Amino acid sequence: MTKRNNAIDVLKALAIVSVILIHALPDSKLYTILAPYYIWQTVPMFIILFGYNSAQSFMRKGNTTLKDTMTLDYIMNKVKRLLVPFGLIWLLQIIVQLTFYDRDPSLSLLFSFVRGGYGPGSYFIPMIIQASLLVPIIYSVMRVHPTKWMTALFFISLMIDLAAYQLDISGSLYRLLIIRHIFSLTLGVWLGLLKGKIKLKWLIVPALFSFIYITAVHYFNWGMIIEEYWHSQHAPSYFYVLLLVILGMKGLNLNGDSRLSRLFILTGQASYHIFLVQMLYFWLIHDQLTNLPEAISLSLALIVPIITGWGYYLLNKRIAFKPKKLPLTPRPKYKRKTA
């Protein structure tokens, strides 16, 4: 059995805390604390880790072709792990809409499921679903020549992003599409395929290029020929994020001996459920607390979603657990006595 790398859970824990900070703090403060270099890179970090975990899973199972990876079991597993937890939060949002906001039942309410429900970061739901469908294809393509295909997919993803910009796709649609994260997913698969073989010195120059790009678009309003609203959430930034991921995987592998380390690991494991809860929290509750001191408001924004997310994750895990059926012992047959 492969030993679990707790560093991945710690990275996810730090990333989900960063997501909450993005939604709780004003942009001016985020820029002051240099958020573009770490806090605002959480979504590409999540996507890279998703690609990495997927590639590692496919390799452990011996999958080599798209037919091996894109199976009914794979799809149903994603439905159970992604859509079911989201569906319950979405239903709660619909009940709130109908009960407290006097919304009439309509197709727009139903269509909100496709858009990821309500609340900040809701675009991540359709995006991770698309990533789930795309990652088997990327893995199957990259498996034999990972680095050559990683390089090719960098330019392919840029061309797709450019095409979307030139076609003037609406911002409301673009935010839901995986387009700007095709390459972060690619880097995750590349890392998974070449685990232990990637040398940090290979990434210094690309990561420096990414760092300069992030600085230029965030602090100097540098424009490119691709979509600008999402700033550094595009392919040129992701080598820097990959470097952060690799450094984190090397340096954050907690052993879980202390209570604090176990809480970090639990937070990472529950990161998706915490994300769903924080989406609900910021949509429904956070704006009602604007009169509170900033420190208290920020503390509540962190504590409530994280603790509730822990509970939601553990409950979901408990319900999803199915004990193995014990084999039935056949009842002994007795011969009827004859007089």
CB atoms within 10 A of CB 310: 18
Q: Given this model, what pLDDT does residue 287 score?
A: 87
Q: Given this model, what pLDDT does residue 334 score?
A: 45
**DSSP result, 167-233:** TT--HHHHTTSSGGGHHHHHHHHHHHHTTTT--HHHHHHHHHHHHHHHHHHHHS----SS--TTTT-
Per-residue confidence at 337, pLDDT binned at 50, 70, 90? very low
Cα separation values, 18 from 15, 41, 45, 90, 302, Å: 5, 9, 11, 23, 10
Taking Cα atoms as reference points, which of 36, 4, 5 lies closest to residue 21?
Answer: 36
Q: Given this model, what pLDDT does residue 303 score?
A: 97
Q: Which residues of 75-85 are buried (b: 16+ CB within 10 A; e: fewer)?
A: eeebeeebeeb
Q: Given this model, what pLDDT does residue 240 score?
A: 98
The Cα 140–Cα 70 span in angstroms is 10
- Mean pLDDT across the chain, nearest whole number? 90
Tokens matching residue 288: 């009602």
Mean pLDDT of 148-161: 96
pTM metric for this prediction: 0.90
The Cα 251–Cα 286 span in angstroms is 34
At which residue do the structure tokens 């503390």 appear? 299
Mean pLDDT of 297-318: 95
Q: Given this model, what pLDDT does residue 2 score?
A: 58
The 10s digit of each residue's pLDDT in 168-226 is 889 899 999 999 999 999 999 999 999 889 989 999 999 999 999 999 999 988 876 67
